[in-house]
Structures are given as C-alpha cells and as structure tokens.
Structure 1
C-alpha cells in the first residue's frame, strides 16, 4: 500500500484547504501514522480500496487495548475519518468504510469555572511591583473580558487593538478572524502595560507588532501563561484547578448567568458550532439550582 504520497497530500490538504494550525495538523498525522502502523503489521499487502469496516474496527479495538482515554480514542477516530474523506476526494477509494465507525461514548464534563468574586480574587494574586506584573494583569483582564483562548492572547497584535471603540481583532482557530468587544478595565490595563512596560522594551526580530512580550522581547508561550495563572491563583488562595481556559469558561458562564444571547456568545468565543457553546447552558442550570438551594426557604435543609 502506497501510504507516503497520500499522507503528504493529506498534510497539504489540511494546510491549504482547511487552514488548520500546526498543532492540529500534527495531531491528524499522528492518527494516520497509527493506522498505517496497524495495517503494515496486520494487512501488509492490502490497498486502500480494499479496506473494510471490520478491519477498521479491529484497529479501534487495538487502540482501546492501549488503555487510552475515551476522549483520546474519539479524537484518533476523528483524524482517521478526515483522512478517509481526503482519500474519497482524491478518488483513491470509491466508498468510505469509516462512515459506520462509532466513537466511544463520551461523558460531557462541565469545565471548572470561577465565580465573579474569585476572578477578582485572582487579579489580586498578581505581583504588580514587578514589570511583568502589569503585563500579567493585562493578559488576565483581556482573557476574562473577551473570552480569548491562550493561543489567541499570546498572538494578539498591537495593530489589532481598537481600544478607542472597545474592540479587538482576534486570529482564532484555522486563522479565522473575529472582532470581539473588550471591556473598559481590560482596555485600561492594556494601555497601562503599553505605556509603562511595553514601550520601554526592544522587541526581538519579527515581534514588533506582538502585544505581550517576555523579558527578551519575544512573544510568550502557552506554558508561560499557564504557570503565570497557576502562580496568581496560588497567591490569591484559590484552591480550584486553574488553567488558562478557566477564564474563557468563566467568561461564557457569567454571560449565560446574566441572560446573554447564546448566538452572541458563540460569535465572541469563535465556536464553529452552537452545540459547543450550549455546554454553558448546562452550567447555567446548575447555577440556577444552587441559587435556589442557597436563597429559597423551601430548598434549604
């Protein structure tokens, strides 16, 4: 079976046609490499058109035996299905045997969120006596104010700030752009950071337009933001498992709690499907029940 040309073509397809990020493309290629390894060991002489559903079910069973989490198995299956859709486009196969492949049942876990009070508490955990303190405060304010992913906030460009009208332009997944409102407090802290810290730095080559820089003048990594938020939570005495996405989840949840329109939240978060955004309605129901338990006399024990 001639895997190499089709894998190269699949990579180009993901880059050019789908405009996926480097990390997403790498994940898809790892999935296909697992399938290739399985077929080269089990059915070494088979060609693409002869692949069958039972064989692919065998592959899934082999993945399951590796004790991977259900979510990991589902993600691998998603990558394999994408590869077979590409083979259909290239007319390497006439029928897609993955159409009837079923992913393992996933329990939809509600993400951890902070209360409004805990968000304010988190901000107090930042050491403003250090130059990076003002930067870190601006990052956290921006993530909570606009619901940004960590990849979006570290890539935020100065040329995409429209603070005078209360908007920022964000480059999201698949290089898709969206205009997102930004609150007055976040805008204020960005201005303070630019005036007192950013303007005194010499950006590294190619980093002139990146808003948030490290001490060497380069853009931040996801890991740096992760540790910065962990440290702020520790200093603030917050015991929840905090990570960068927590602020994004909190942003959406607090909007739902306040009665915001689900479509508007979908647009601000950059979700392709409204189904992804709907998870926050489940969180809102839990919030409503807790409100009754706390405040309604007939719910109190």
Structure 2
C-alpha cells in the first residue's frame, strides 16, 4: 500500500468514528458510506489517482463509471448499444448492471460528507465535490403489495411449528406497524405496551417513538410469546423479542430470506418482495383508506413530511385508474 493509500485508510477510520460517535449515524448508514468510499478508493488507485488529490473531473469520471454496465468477461464498461437484453454484444456474457441513479447519488453523498469532514478537520484545504453537480436522484415510487397479496404471504408460515409462529408474528408486526426491518429485529420484550395497543421502537439516530399495533398482530405476538419464544430462548434474561432457533436475536438477512421464501410459496415473485415492501404497503394502504398524512408520518418515523408524501403519489395512481375507468369523459 502506498503512503497516500495508508493515509486515506487512516482518514477513513477517523471519518467512521466521526459518523458514528459525533453525528450519531446508524451502523447501517456508516457501513454504506464506508463501502462507497472504499469502492471509490479502489477505483482511484486502479486509475493512478489518490482520494487526497482527486479533482472534480476525476470524481465526475468515477460517478460516470458507477452508472455504467460492466462485462466481467471483457472486463470493460459498456454503453447501451453494447449491452442488449442483459448480454454483452461482444462475447454474449451476462452483463453486470451499473448502479442505479439513486445509488450513484448516495455515493456522491458519501464523498461530500468525507471531503467536508477533511476540510473541517484541516486535512484538506479544498472540497473537490463542491464543483460536482449530480443529476437529482430519481424518486422512484415505493413498491407495495395489494391487500390480497399481503394476506397470501401472512398465511404461508407453518404455525404448527415454533419457527412458523415466530415468522407469522414478525410478518404481522411488519405489516401492522410499518417498522423498518432494523427496528423490527431490534424490538425488546420491554417494548411491548399492549394494554395501550402500542409498541416502542428505536428509529434512525436512536430516536424512540410509539407505534400503534392492531389486534391481529398483537394476537400473534402473544401466541409467539407462549408457543414459540420459550422453545428458542437459551438465556433466561434474553432481552430480544424475536429469536432464531439458536436463541440469538433475529438478523435482517435471515428475516429477509423468510419474507422471500413465503412470497415465493404464495406465488408472488420473490425478487420484488422484501421486508421494506411491508413498510411501503402499510403506508400505502393507510393512505388509500384516507388516513391523515401527518399521522402516517409519525407512525413511519419520518422527520420530513416530504418523505411521507411520496406515498400519496402511489395513491394518486389508483385514483387515476378509477377516474379513467368510470368517468364518462375520461
């Protein structure tokens, strides 16, 4: 490793501490930022550049590279004319799709944060990202499932088995509360406040909020507490609510696998379903039922109302279909 490479590595370690300790960013956010920055550092090293001396033009070239398709056989980037139907026109190998516009925007956000930190801590004099203008990240409409699809997935776990009862309870809570997957797996026994019909969760930045939970979800959590959790618990004082069969706290990856497995068994394309789709469906179905936008914002834990408003666009699509179908002059 070159001296500049070692220096960059040291600065990344300091930046990681800055993100987690000083700014209080979540572990997932820190991991994503560091991953983007390491990818950036690797690309620069391959092209004879250093993060410590990178210019705006170099950063633009990197962002352009991130968005391009890549052929692993030819080991080169491809434009649209060279990648048709997901195959390289040169060698017919499967093409690795370039990063989405949203991912590229997140990568630039990581670079901005890093260089801003370097200038503020007197490591660098200038921030090269100040002169880089990225296209606004496309604000894609969140994917959601229909009520029927949700019901079909909820019915898939084998509730004659402890793991099945746990999975049914987790799916019910995911759809019944709109929690982020990290919030869901982080629930503790002490977070249940069923007398009032709420659960307590810790969102981004460690902020706590109370979220209503319906009777169906409560019923399955109680059933899991009686029939599932005692079978999996290995420690008397284990605080986590949802446990694996080995007695450890459920992980994001394992729950994600469960969701996809149950979607597939319900006849729904697994690639389109993730734990976060349950959160999107929760918000979409509330707004379809004329729920107050501010109330949905509070339940989702969104800091800005504009984040919640994206779900109104999904509902508008439904209203447009109704209008087109029934209005005589549509």
TM-score of the two chains, using structure 2 as the length reference: 0.80
After TM superposition, the structure 1 = structure 2 runs for residues 100-119 of structure 1, keeping only pairs within 5 Å, are 100-119=131-150
Classify the secondary structure of the residue corresponding to 1:220.
coil
Q: In the TM superposition, what whole-angstrom CA distance separates every residue of 1:21-60 from its partner, at most 9, and x where no partner exists? A: 333222212322344345555345x9x5x65433433433
Classify the secondary structure of the residue corresponding to 2:296.
helix
Q: How far did 1:167 drift?
A: 1.1
Q: In the TM superposition, what whole-angstrom CA distance separates every residue of 1:48-89 from its partner, at most 9, and x where no partner exists? A: 5x6543343343344445543323222211110110121132
1:232 and 1:179, CA in 2 relative to 1: closer, same or farther beyond 3 A? same
Determine the C-alpha separation between the residues in 2 that align with 1:231 and 1:58. Answer: 40
Q: Does 1:209 align with 2:209?
A: no
1:59 and 1:234, CA in 2 relative to 1: closer, same or farther beyond 3 A? closer
Farther off after superposition, 166-175 or 77-86: 166-175
Determine the C-alpha separation between the residues in 2 that align with 1:185 and 1:284. Answer: 25
For residue 182 of structure 2, the aligned residue among 134, 151, 174 is: 151
For residue 53 of structure 1, the aligned residue among 35, 53, 56 is: 56
1:63 and 1:237, CA in 2 relative to 1: closer, same or farther beyond 3 A? closer
8 A Cα contact 2:201 2:211, kept in partner: yes
Q: How far did 1:104 drift?
A: 3.7
For residue 196 of structure 2, the aligned residue among 144, 161, 165 is: 165
1:56 and 1:234, CA in 2 relative to 1: closer, same or farther beyond 3 A? closer
1:73 and 1:238, CA in 2 relative to 1: closer, same or farther beyond 3 A? closer
Q: How far did 1:262 drift?
A: 2.0
Q: Does 1:220 align with 2:223?
A: no
8 A Cα contact 1:73 1:104, kept in partner: no
Determine the C-alpha separation between the residues in 2 that align with 1:34 and 1:242. Answer: 28
For residue 24 of structure 1, the aligned residue among 26, 29, 32 is: 29
Higher RCO, Cα 8 Å, sep 6+: 1
For residue 231 of structure 1, the aligned residue among 232, 241, 261 is: 261
Determine the C-alpha separation between the residues in 2 that align with 1:10 and 1:279. Answer: 32
Q: How far did 1:283 drift?
A: 0.1
Report how many aligned residue pairs link the two structures. Answer: 295
Q: Does 1:36 align with 2:41?
A: yes
Farther off after superposition, 172-181 or 156-165: 172-181
1:286 and 1:175, CA in 2 relative to 1: closer, same or farther beyond 3 A? same
Gaps of 5+ in 2: 69-76, 78-97
Q: In the TM superposition, what whole-angstrom CA distance separates every residue of 1:184-229 from its partner, at most 9, and x where no partner exists? A: 2111211111022223443359x71111112111122223222322
For residue 155 of structure 2, the aligned residue among 116, 121, 124 is: 124
1:215 and 1:56, CA in 2 relative to 1: closer, same or farther beyond 3 A? closer
8 A Cα contact 1:214 1:220, kept in partner: yes
For residue 70 of structure 1, the aligned residue among 91, 101, 104 is: 101
After TM superposition, the structure 1 = structure 2 runs for residues 258-297 of structure 1, keeping only pairs within 5 Å, are 258-294=289-325, 296=326
TM-score of the two chains, using structure 1 as the length reference: 0.87
1:232 and 1:53, CA in 2 relative to 1: closer, same or farther beyond 3 A? closer
Classify the secondary structure of the residue corresponding to 2:277.
helix
Q: In the TM superposition, what whole-angstrom CA distance separates every residue of 1:221-260 from its partner, at most 9, and x where no partner exists? A: 2232223222323333345732211111110001111222
